[in-house]
Amino acid sequence: MPRALNGEVGLHLALLGPEDARPPVVMSHGLLVGNLATWYLTCAPAVARSRRVVTWDLRGHGMSDRPPTGYDLPTMAGDLSTVLDLVSPDGSADLVGHSYGALVALRLALSAPRRVRSLALVEAPLSRADVAALTGWASVPADQLAAALPAALQADLDRGGRRARRLLQGLAALVTGTSVLDDVAAFPGLSDEELRRLSCPVLAIYGTRSACRPEADRLRRVLPTATVVEVEGGHYLPLEAAADVGSLLAGWLHA
């Protein structure tokens, strides 16, 4: 299994699609309950018919290391940069991200624009209030995490047993053993000025029933060159509307 190393932090990757298709598409998942399977088992195969697709576990998630700190966007954009070093000969890629993973990709596009050929942002929580609303449920004692889990993610718990136990163990270790909630609480939100600085092509996809949906209108206003699309569903679009999001991404990436 390929791993990228950012300092001491090992990051787990899983790759799909033709090896010789360059440059790669790199997909980043969302915080707390996501991992690379969020993309690998949903939208990635549609893109991987003709593109090399790289999915990776954010620090603290899936099979990546879980360091106690570094869950802020600049540090995690550094993680993503390390992934690009490993998978792209010239260090550039088309980026796709869901939720906080979209913010990580966006941060890299602002700090290292030459490395980012295009951005596809799925349910990007661009404001401080969006991020607070999406992660607030996890600020409960570890034994109350199960009850606090968003409804869209309750299915694994309802099935009970080993999978539910492991989901909750991983989640508890992350929220009680790392700075993740403090780091996301310190996110100031993206200003209009920052969004206007994006120089690459941008696709933004929002769910019609998501609390983040107003960001679609803001992007249309602030960044008129962006392609903004709304898809029937809530915040967890890669899981809720995998076929729709997969074909939008495949079209965007000419896959």
Partner 1 sequence: MSDKAEILDTIAGLIRQVVGEDWIADVDIGMDTSFSDDLELESIEFVALAEHLQQVWGDRIDFVGWLSGMELDEIIGLRVGQLVDHVAGCLER
Q: In the beta sheet, which residues pair with residue 26?
A: 54, 95
Which of 10, 21, 37, 82 binds partner 1 (CB under 8 A)? It is 37
153 lines the binding site for partner 1 (CB under 8 A): no
Q: Is 144 helix (H, G, I), strand (E, B) or coil?
A: helix
| Own/partner long-range contacts of 193-196 (Cβ < 8 Å, ≥24 apart) | 194/110, 195/126, 195/219, 195/222, 195/223, 196/222, 196/223
1 lines the binding site for partner 1 (CB under 8 A): yes
Please tell me the distance from the alpha carbon of residue 8 to that of residue 126, in angstroms, as a whole number.
29
173 lines the binding site for partner 1 (CB under 8 A): no
| Distance of closest approach, residue 241 Cβ to partner 1, in angstroms | 11
36 lines the binding site for partner 1 (CB under 8 A): yes
Q: Please say which residue, 36 or 121, places its beta carbon nearer to partner 1.
A: 36
Contact assessment for residue 70 and residue 59, using Cβ atoms and an 8 Å cutoff: yes
239 lines the binding site for partner 1 (CB under 8 A): yes
- The piece of 31-39, 84-92, 123-131, 216-224 that touches partner 1 (CB under 8 A) is 31-39
Which of 143, 162, 188, 254 binds partner 1 (CB under 8 A)? It is 162
Q: Please say which residue, 54 or 198, places its beta carbon nearer to partner 1.
A: 54
Please tell me the distance from the alpha carbon of residue 48 to that of residue 24, in angstroms, as a whole number.
10
| Distance of closest approach, residue 149 Cβ to partner 1, in angstroms | 15
Q: Is 14 helix (H, G, I), strand (E, B) or coil?
A: strand
H helical segments located in the chain = 37-40, 44-47, 73-87, 100-111, 128-135, 145-148, 155-158, 161-177, 180-185, 192-196, 214-222, 237-240, 242-252
- The piece of 55-63, 79-87, 94-102, 172-180 that touches partner 1 (CB under 8 A) is 55-63
Q: What is the DSSP string of 146-195?
A: HHHS-GGGTHHHHT-HHHHHHHHHHHHHHHHHSSHHHHHHT-----HHHH
Which of 41, 140, 147, 148 binds partner 1 (CB under 8 A)? It is 41
40 lines the binding site for partner 1 (CB under 8 A): yes
Please tell me the distance from the alpha carbon of residue 245 to that of residue 122, in angstroms, as a whole number.
9
Which of 89, 161, 188, 224 binds partner 1 (CB under 8 A)? It is 161
Which of 153, 167, 168, 229 binds partner 1 (CB under 8 A)? It is 167
As given in the structure block, the two tokens for residue 68 are 């106690």
Number of residues that bind partner 1 (CB under 8 A): 28
Q: Please say which residue, 78 or 207, places its beta carbon nearer to partner 1.
A: 207
| Distance of closest approach, residue 243 Cβ to partner 1, in angstroms | 8
Binding interface with partner 1 (CB under 8 A): 1, 14, 16-17, 35-37, 40-42, 45-46, 48-49, 55, 57, 62-63, 159, 161-163, 166-167, 239, 242-243, 246
